[in-house]
Amino acid sequence: MVTDAERQDQATRKCRRRALRSIFQTRYSILKTALLIVLFGIVSACAQTHLQTDTKSEAKTAQGPALWRASDEDTTIIFFGTVHLLPTGIDWQREDLRTALAEASQLYLETSPQTMTLDEITNFEKASIAAPDAQLPDILSTEDYEKLTAVLEKLQMNPSIMDGRQPWFVSIILGRMVLENNGFRADLGAEAWLTTQAEAKNIPIRSLEKMTDVSSALSAFPQSLQIELLQSTLSEGTDLKDQYSNLISVWMAAETEKLHRLTMHEMQTKLPKVYDFMLEQRNRNWIPEIERIMREETGTVLIAVGSGHLIGPVSVIEMLREKDWKIEKY
């Protein structure tokens, strides 16, 4: 029988978890936007034109985003490629995904708020701070700083509050604000829906990596590369609604080869070092954990990560196939 003291302790623990999640929510969605911008949203005008002329008919026949499945004697892993921010009014939750989640014993995300500690959140914040001699007005060209100022003012944000941050962090914030200004929201994204559903079904939510692993690596990028990343974000402008909507149409149509061609290939060409870390190296880092899941877990496990991680020649899917995994797309 549960005592009053035990009930009070359970209530206190639950309250603390909610408080921690509230503190973390903004920072977590910022990081997820980083992966979105870098792995899914940086496309050139050429790619944009291709999308506008090549995706509308496919969106009409889409049954939902792609899923992949791998199994052994007692474990089935379902891989789902997510989009971190989505608009209102789209029905993307295909029935096979709902079934996989209903049958899942665990849900793995890239990074889950449920596994975060306050120290990790604090360290992420610290990693974004620039050295005193590396403030944005000092390291950006006059032209780039004026562009940044103009974009931030257009988004109704005081540019000076970014002066003390590292360029990679400013790129993330800027990308997030631009997408939100175009109607794409983290609370409508695939991870948000999956998390809500998993919590309602008492499905444990795990992480493939720590958020601080990513922020530490971004902070270690040479200053010139961070500036290049910020310049790429600035070059995208602030009107991305049609461009990004078309990307979502390709995602909805499960056209994975086209999605890779229009997103990942573009980043590999423009920002090869960022591509190497944010995509290829992180994918390789996840492989041992995914192998452990197949080896040690039982039942159905759902792994949901950004779509860029599951498409193309250096994707998680292809890396596992190189290890003789039998993986089917469905």
Q: What is the pLDDT of residue 9?
A: 59
**pLDDT score recorded for residue 56:** 42
Let me know: does 101 contact 302? Beta carbons within 8 Å.
yes
Rounded to whole angstroms, how far apart are CA atoms 32 and 28?
6
Confidence category of residue 116, pLDDT binned at 50, 70, 90: confident
Tokens of 19: 């408080």
Domain boundaries, the chain: 4-329
| Top mean-pLDDT range of 16-30, 62-76, 304-318 | 304-318
Phi, psi of 305 (to 5 degrees): -135, 165
Angle made by CA atoms 163, 167, 169, in degrees to the nearest 5: 95
Q: Give the mean model confidence (pLDDT) for residues 267-294.
A: 91
Percentage, residues of the chain above pLDDT 90: 55
Is residue 248 within 8 A of residue 55, CB to CB? The reply is: no
Check residue 165 and give left, alpha or beta (phi > 0: left; psi -120 to 50: alpha): beta
Phi, psi at residue 313, to the nearest 5°?
-70, -20
For β-strands 75-82 and 67-71, DSSP reports them as antiparallel
Taking 80 as the threshold, does the pLDDT of residue 114 lie above it? no
What confidence category does residue 6 fall into, taking pLDDT thresholds of 50, 70 and 90? Answer: low
Residues 6+ apart with CB under 8 A from 163: 135, 136, 137
Report how far residue 35's alpha carbon sits from residue 189's, in angstroms, rounded to the nearest whole number: 13
- On the question of pLDDT at 122 being above 60, the answer is yes
Span 24-47, pLDDT tens digits: 444 444 444 444 444 443 333 233
Structure tokens at 131: 């050295």
Q: Is the pLDDT of residue 110 over 90?
A: yes
Reported confidence tier of residue 176, pLDDT bands at 50, 70, 90? confident
Each residue's pLDDT tens digit, 205-228? 999 998 888 888 888 899 999 999
Question: In this predicted structure, what is the pLDDT of residue 274?
Answer: 85
Q: pTM (2 decimals)?
A: 0.82
Whether 231 has a pLDDT exceeding 60, the answer reads yes
Residue that is written with structure tokens 């974004």 in the block:
128
Measured CA distances, 324 to 166, 271, 298, 319, 321 (Å)? 41, 31, 20, 9, 5
Q: Kindly tell me if the per-residue pLDDT of 58 is higher than 50.
A: no
